[in-house]
Amino acid sequence: MWANPLLFRDSILALSETTPQPQVTTPEGRVEPLTGIEREILDFMVQYLRSNTYQPSIREIGRRFGIKSTKTVSEHLQVLAEKGFLERDSSRSRGVKILGIDLNTQAVSVPCFNRVPDPISEFRIEDAEVHLSVDRRMGGEEGSFIVVAGVNDLALLGVAEGDYILISPTSIENLEDGAIIVADFGEGASYHRFTRNETGAKLESLRPGNEETRVVEPATIESLGRVSGLYRRMDDGAKVNLTQH
């Protein structure tokens, strides 16, 4: 059996993009994306507002990201405003309004990737294409992220293309038998079923057409985490467009 997957219908769990879509386009007509620091500042502001019901000050943003200059923070906020993510009121100390975001305090922002990040050694959670807003009880622990299932991802376990797979960080020592992990053995990151035996750890590939089983030393396993949830929408408009950022 798959280790404790969580399957929620669309009527129970609504997935939505945490960050509003940018409004500014380049002269060539392309949408201007957020930079890494812009994304991090915006996500911090969203989470701060959800927790405190008011926006962080410029100094608080600076402390969070190690930016000593309030002018530099203000410049980042101005760029976010120009890209259509914020409205600013210079007459107020916390005069910033985030546009187009559901600020439900029971929701958390979870990074979402269009495919399993590969190679694992170069994985950076801040490279997520979009962030999704999910109920905090179902969003996994800190460091969790979502992968949109491809046509062959976990198909052997009934996972369909377009399903949302929640990956949560874990140590190999804490894995229980039957857990599904994302691991790489030189052939690209993919899903494996983990069990222990007398000689080490047995990993069964769940890639269709390549159901290889290997026994390895647990300490040698390079893993992104374990599958801790599966979210499925039941309507035709289920898929999130991850080409917008």
Q: Tell me, yes or no, whether 133 and 66 share the same domain.
A: no
**233 contacts: CB under 8 Å, gap ≥ 6:** 9, 10, 15, 162
Q: pLDDT above 90 covers what percent of the chain? A: 18
* Structural domain includes residue 78: yes
State the pLDDT at residue 88. Answer: 86
Q: Report the pLDDT averaged over residues 20-25.
A: 42
Omega prior to 119 cis, within 30 of 0: yes
- Same domain for 132 and 53? no
Instruction: Express each pLDDT in 61-119 by its tens digit.
Output: 999 999 999 999 999 999 999 988 888 887 676 778 888 665 666 677 788 888 887 77
Domain count of the chain? 2
Helix (H) or strand (E) holding 49: helix 36-52
Final residue belonging to a domain, choices 78, 98, 118: 98
Q: What is the average per-residue pLDDT within 195-220?
A: 82
Q: Do 72 and 170 fall within a single domain? A: no
Q: Same domain, yes or no, for 90 and 130? A: no
Domain assignment of residue 195, yes or no:
yes
pLDDT for the residue numbered 180: 93
* Residue 14: band (very low, low, confident or very high) from pLDDT cuts 50, 70, 90: very low
**Pair 153, 221 in one domain:** yes
Q: What average pLDDT does this structure show over 143-156?
A: 87
Q: Are residues 111 and 76 in the same domain?
A: no
Last residue of a domain, one of 98, 113, 146: 98
pLDDT of residue 227: 93
CATH code for position 84: 1.10.10.10
Lowest-confidence region among 17-21, 36-40, 200-204: 17-21
- pLDDT value at 29 more than 80: no
**pLDDT score, position 101:** 66
Same domain for 153 and 94: no
Residue with the bigger pLDDT between 31 and 159: it is: 159
pLDDT in tens, 30-59: 456 788 899 899 988 888 887 777 888 899
CATH number, domain at 182?
A: 2.10.109.10
> How far from 173 is each of 158, 191, 194, 201, CA to CA, in Å?
27, 18, 11, 11
- Model-wide pTM > 0.75: no
- Reported in sequence order, the residue ranges of the chain that DSSP labels E, i.e. its strands, are 7-8, 16-17, 86-88, 96-98, 107-113, 130-135, 145-148, 164-168, 179-183, 190-197, 200-205, 213-216, 223-231
- Residue that is last in its domain, among 80, 98, 116: 98
The pLDDT confidence band at residue 8, using thresholds 50, 70 and 90, is very low
Sign of CA dihedral 95, 99, 105, 108: negative
| pLDDT (0 to 100) of residue 76 | 93
112 and 61 in a common domain: no
Please indicate, yes or no, whether residues 177 and 224 belong to a single structural domain of this protein: yes
Indicate whether 10 pLDDT > 50: no
Question: pLDDT category, 17, cuts 50, 70, 90?
Answer: very low
Tell me what pLDDT residue 207 has.
78
Residue 115 in any domain: the answer is yes
15 pLDDT more than 50: no
Residue 175 lies in a domain: yes
User: Are residue 180 and residue 75 in the same domain, yes or no?
Assistant: no
Q: Are residues 115 and 226 in the same domain?
A: yes
Residues 40, 156, single domain; the answer is: no
Task: Find the domain containing 125 and state its range.
Answer: 7-12+104-231
Q: Is residue 144's pLDDT more than 60?
A: yes
Does residue 30 fall inside a structural domain? Answer: no
Residue 242 is assigned to a structural domain of this protein: no
In-domain check, residue 220: yes
